[in-house]
Chain A
């Protein structure tokens, strides 16, 4: 008996999914629900819903001082700290230590990562917006990069499909630039946000709405309603927001068709020159360092944009000397993020006798209003805003004359209403914005490291002028006082919306993936994370990854049933 053949049989599945974040969870759910025996690989540790959220119910006084990570330990998180909000004692276990996971920046690039089952679906911002018909058409209309091989209508039923399961709360508006989702009841705006909404409608005919977020405003699909603790990024014991851990992976598990293997770093995809298909993946066990091979009829790469692209780049063969599926030479190019951290703050008089109850894990959203009906600005595309209003807390007492009991009295009453908002702008795909692998600098598992050479360009900088000035103008028109603007882009990557390095397109000569997210030249490899994006739009992208993953997985399952894959 040939032992190798036996080992190969034991390591063979119908499908392999690489990664367990937002897109990987969806691929796993849809493939297993279609009856496919699926191996799901995750490079980090396992995280069980509820059991592995160690800080989820801690009160502030149960955490180390101010929830702050000590100075010496912060040195391990040099890049993760660039967000300013990720590395706290209550959340640091969700983020990688940069000293363990090095990369190189030819220009500043903020690569913010979490390696564990669930990936960044545990810590994501949960804002969920559909792309619109104009987003899928913009590249073709303006001659930018390449055309998307799909249109809004192709994705529309899949948006509905994933929204009904994930649970998105929000308000239907009927806007062409921001199609409505299948909504759960919306979260409320507070009084000052309502005032801004009314002023904007009256003065500018612009819309402000409650954020469309993947938080449950009533129990849904066996998960509990939001408790308004606003501690989502610690993991939710109620399952009240969408994460792979709370939602898609348990669904995949229930089918009995999923095998989940944590601590599995995918080194490369194996290729068979004779069949012209991939045969499986090579995996480094993160704990033992041993290499394993797993085989399947189809492979879904959902390792996140940079890591899925890295795996393809590291999957070389005689047929693909420059990386699997890279006949076009576009693999690793056209990196996008959203550019943000530009906007305005103001203070609102009045409403002194009004306050709010509960910590809403959401704010308001202002849909794109620039360049909707033709281009009338000196830049292409547009931006939306996210923001919120609140009343000043105890901190306002620091710069007051009061000390002693007067200070206690002063801060026990809330201070002024303040409102802040930041714009999220579309970043154009540009061939010169790219990443590649450095095989001379390897990580502790012997894997090549990533080099980034990405920057914001002229279109983004021109757009930022409007992003800043429009914000101030709207706050002033609403009667706000002491309006101030800010503009601090940081590095690309800071939006944690990396996209575009294995883009979809119609032509194998200019793109990596086709209309079903298959590699043009290796039809049994699908990529449905952010790397597939042909353009970025200005909306938060995760909902689109969900829809693309579900669509591609159901297509793949159909093709297998037909015997075509």
Chain B
């Protein structure tokens, strides 16, 4: 890319900043659709049993744990998963998911002893890593429980503000298009 277009890009970004001040936002936008911004804590499961909810929370945090960015449960992923399974799945898909969840917990009990959500970080990680590996290697083209769960976890996380803006990159209003920019100037994967 030429220096000139680099200049244009910076100019364009500056201009966007100015324009944004003038954007007309519908004042009651948030009231129109019932926003579901999952917040940590205070989750009262409607579909999952208390035990299932603890497995869902622990498993989502093994898949996306807290490190220099927050964990799945800190951004409300367990609630997100419950909403998806409860409101967006057919009865058949829902039963399949719940069976898979219970079987996952059972297998852990058989192999490691005790409850998944009581396991140490290493125990949970090793068991989950193994389950993920088996699913990928042995079920190409299918979606066994662990991969469905992983996908839901990632979906909830990366459509949350934290996931989209801290782990990935999100610009509500890019203001310009550059079709071939050095990756390092963008930095991270676009959330959308």
Contacts and interface: CB of A to CB of B under 8 A. Distances in A.
B186 A393 contact: no
A404 B129 CA distance: 9
A193 B32 CA distance: 39
A228 interface: yes
Classify chain A: how many residues form its interface, as a range: 35 or more
Given A357-B178, A358-B174, A398-B147, A403 B16 contact: no
Given A65-B84, A403-B128, A358 B176 contact: yes
B89 interface: yes
Contact of B159 (A66, A359, A412): A66
B33 A57 contact: no
A401 B132 contact: yes
B65 to A, nearest CB: 5
A401 B131 CA distance: 10
Contact of A55 (B32, B161, B174, B190): B32
Contact of A393 (B16, B19, B189): B189
A191 B174 contact: no
B64 A408 contact: yes
Interface stretch (A107-115, A348-356, A470-478): A348-356
A394 B32 contact: no
B29 A60 contact: no
Most buried by B among A59, A189, A352, A358: A358
B177 to A, nearest CB: 4
A237 B154 contact: no
A394 B89 CA distance: 22
B125 interface: yes
Given A228-B175, A394-B168, A65 B88 contact: yes
B24 A404 contact: no
Interface string B129-154: 10011001000000000010011001
Nearest to A353: B183
Contacts of B129: 401, 403
A413 interface: yes
Contacts of B4: none
Interface stretch (A46-54, A303-311, A431-439, A514-522): A46-54
A123 interface: no
B81 to A, nearest CB: 9
B142 to A, nearest CB: 11
Contacts of A415: 189
Q: Is the interface of A mostly helix, strand, loop or mixed?
A: loop
Contacts of A50: 24, 26
Interface string A47-75: 00011011111111111111010111000
Given A55-B32, A357-B186, A359-B192, A188 B179 contact: yes
A356 B125 contact: no
Nearest to B9: A357
A387 B17 CA distance: 31
A134 interface: no
Nearest to B179: A190
Given A61-B160, A399-B136, A401-B133, A228 B177 contact: yes
B173 A229 contact: yes
Nearest to B190: A393
A104 interface: no
A68 B33 CA distance: 12
B37 A62 contact: yes
Contact of A227 (B16, B32, B125, B167): B16
Contact of B180 (A194, A352, A405): A194
A187 B177 CA distance: 8
A71 B167 contact: no
A397 interface: yes
A305 to B, nearest CB: 32
Interface string A195-208: 00000000000000
A404 B30 contact: no
A414 interface: yes
Nearest to A394: B158
Contacts of B161: 59, 61
B133 to A, nearest CB: 6
B26 A403 contact: no
Contacts of B35: 58, 61-64
Interface in A119-163: none
Contacts of A393: 168, 189-191
Interface in A160-200: 187-191, 193-194
Interface residues of B, number: 69
B49 interface: no
Given A55-B32, A62-B37, A71-B87, A399 B147 contact: yes
A27 B78 CA distance: 53
A190 B168 contact: no
A7 interface: no
Contacts of A358: 171, 174-178
B62 interface: yes
A261 to B, nearest CB: 25
Contacts of A191: 179-180
A413 to B, nearest CB: 6
B27 to A, nearest CB: 10
Contacts of B19: 224, 227
B58 interface: no
B80 to A, nearest CB: 5
B46 to A, nearest CB: 14
A398 B167 CA distance: 16
Contact of A70 (B26, B30, B88, B171): B88
B111 interface: no
Nearest to B136: A399
B90 interface: yes
A76 interface: no
A238 B20 CA distance: 11
A55 B28 CA distance: 10
A360 interface: yes
Contacts of A72: 87
A357 B164 contact: no
A291 interface: no
Given A60-B192, A71-B87, A71-B89, A412 B174 contact: no
A57 B89 CA distance: 28
Contact of A57 (B29, B63, B186, B192): B29
B44 interface: no
A515 to B, nearest CB: 42
A483 interface: no
Chain A to chain B: the 4 pairs with minimum beta-carbon distance, closest first: A190-B179, A358-B174, A358-B177, A191-B180
10 contacts: A54-B26, A54-B33, A60-B191, A60-B192, A63-B36, A228-B177, A351-B180, A391-B189, A403-B132, A411-B189
Given A57-B172, A68-B88, A408-B69, 8 more contacts: A53-B26, A190-B180, A227-B175, A228-B174, A352-B183, A357-B181, A393-B190, A398-B154
